[in-house]
Structure formats: C-alpha cells, structure tokens
Amino acid sequence: MQESELSQAIERYLVYLQAEENKSSLTIDNYRRSLNLVSELLSVNDPLALNKLVVRDLKAKLGTTTTRKGTKLSVRTKNYHLTVLRAFLRYLLQDEELDVYPPDRVQRFKEEERQVKVLTMEELVRLLNAPSPTTKIGKRDSAILHLFFSTGLRLAELRSLNRKDLNFDTREISVRGKRGKIRVVFLSDTAVDNIKEYMECRLDHLSPLFIRNLNDAVNAMPPGEEFRLSRISIYNIVKKYALIAGIVSDPSPHTLRHSFATDLLRNGADLRSVQELLGHKDLSTTQIYTHVTNPELKQVHQKFHDRKK
C-alpha cells in the first residue's frame, strides 16, 4: 500500500530534524507520535489540502480524543500537538517551499495559568532524609534526590549522566538539555557528600552514574548501559520516598525541579539566572515561578510599607 503524501512529508520532516536540527532521539520520537496522531485525525491525506476548516475539524477531534486510561487530553497536551503541527507546516513552507496553510493560523487552545507544585521546606527535608543511609540502594536514592534538588535537572537529564560528567573539584556538571543545548549546573555541599557516599559503595567500573542491580554490576564489563536506571525507575524512586515521608501532594521529579527554582527566587536570585540554570529557552517559561513567590511580596509590603508611625 502506497504511503500518502502526508505520511511521506512527515518522514521527510523527521529526517530533517535529525540531520539538520540535531534533535535528540527522544524529541524525534515524541514528534513522530504526535504527527502520527494528527495524521490519523486529519480528514485529508495531503498537507497541501490543509485549510481553516480542516484545522478546525482537527481541533474538534482532539477535544474528543482520549488517552490509554480513557481520560480526555489536557489542554496542554492538545496544544503540544498543535505546536508540532505548526512546526511541521513551517518546515514545509520554508524548507520545501510548499504553499501550505500558514502555520501561524493554527491557533492553540487558551490555557489557564500553569499551577506549579512545590514542596515546603519541611516536606523537602523529610523527603531528602527518607532513604536509608546504611544500604547501597538507600545511598543511591539519597544521591538522586539531593542531585535533583541541588541542580533542578530534568528527569531525562539526570538519567543520562555518567560518572565522568561530575567534577567534584569545581562542583559542576555539564548537562546536555533540550535541543542539545549544553549548560552548567552546580552541586551543593550536601549533594556532593551524598553522591560521594554512593560512589564509594560501588565496586563496579560501569559508566552510568545511577544504576540498578548494584551487586550484579560488579561482574559486568563497561560501559554497562543495560544497568542504567530507567526513567520510570527514577520516577518511582521519588514517589516511593514521598510516600515514606508522608507527603500528600504526591510530588514527582519535576516537583523537585520546581522547588529548586522557587527556592532560588525566594532567596533573591534574578529571573534570568534561574532561566539559565533551568535551561529554559524562553524567559516566559521561567516566569511561571513568580506566581509562586509573588504571594510573599504581599507579606513584605504589609511588613515594611505604610506602617503606623
């Protein structure tokens, strides 16, 4: 069966992302899944046939599409698919010089302001102290939690770290983030202590920083990629200790990233610096954290302004 014009164009776009944009394999996989869904929902098989009515029909279908769990797509997820479609159309317009529907006319759904979940300092202390300091697994998990909070790393960034990436002398890590951008993050003294304790209990010579089956790894040959902790394993580690610590807000690895950012802002860091540390492309993304810290400004105003003489 011959592929449609739309399917062929999608494949060319994905090749372009890898060859010309140097997108990561994870990004390309996400784009592929998104564009495959969009192509299934579109009522046309040729990108040149896209018009206002076709896009409107697509948006209506996104509104009724459900996840594997049977829940409707969130507004943010629907907008992600529309953003990918816009990027695809922009490629066809600019790189292939096709007379396609203008990407800027694909309007996204209106989103409510993002609600950022952060931990209180008391909750954070309980979480960081939850792993056992006497077991290998406990030391590894403690290092993971402290590294998340010390650096604000994304889950995928932390998972991809290798031993050689750490510089204990400068207390720095060079991280390859989204869009392949390299940034430097910094280790706190507490994070360094916890990572060193974890490294001291490892008797293997494998490359990944965080591994599973610590005892079996001793007899494995480098680099040992098959021992690297999976994304879901790291995600579940955070969930596990949040439960042990009795934190009812059900935090995730990204909650620790949020907590890292808000802690910096609350202690006087400027927004541009936080943007760099988080690896955000746009300052507007970082500005979501000001909604968390802004309530504290009211307390400052009440304490220092217009006091009775």
Question: Which positions are catalytic?
Answer: 154, 178, 254, 257, 280, 289
Dihedral angle over CA of 172, 177, 179, 184, nearest 10: -20
Length of the chain: 309
CA–CA separation, 219 vs 203, rounded Å? Answer: 9
Please give the Cα distance from 239 to 127 (Å, whole number): 10
Task: For residues 150 and 192, give the distance between their C-alpha atoms in angstroms, rounded to a whole number.
Answer: 9
Core vs surface per residue 42-73: b (16+ CB within 10 A) or e: bebeebeebeeeebeebbeebeeeeeeeeeeb
Dihedral, 252, 254, 259, 262 alpha carbons, nearest 10: -150
CB 258 within 8 A of CB 118: yes
Q: Burial, 28: exposed, middle or buried (Cβ in 10 Å; 0-12, 13-18, 19+)?
A: middle
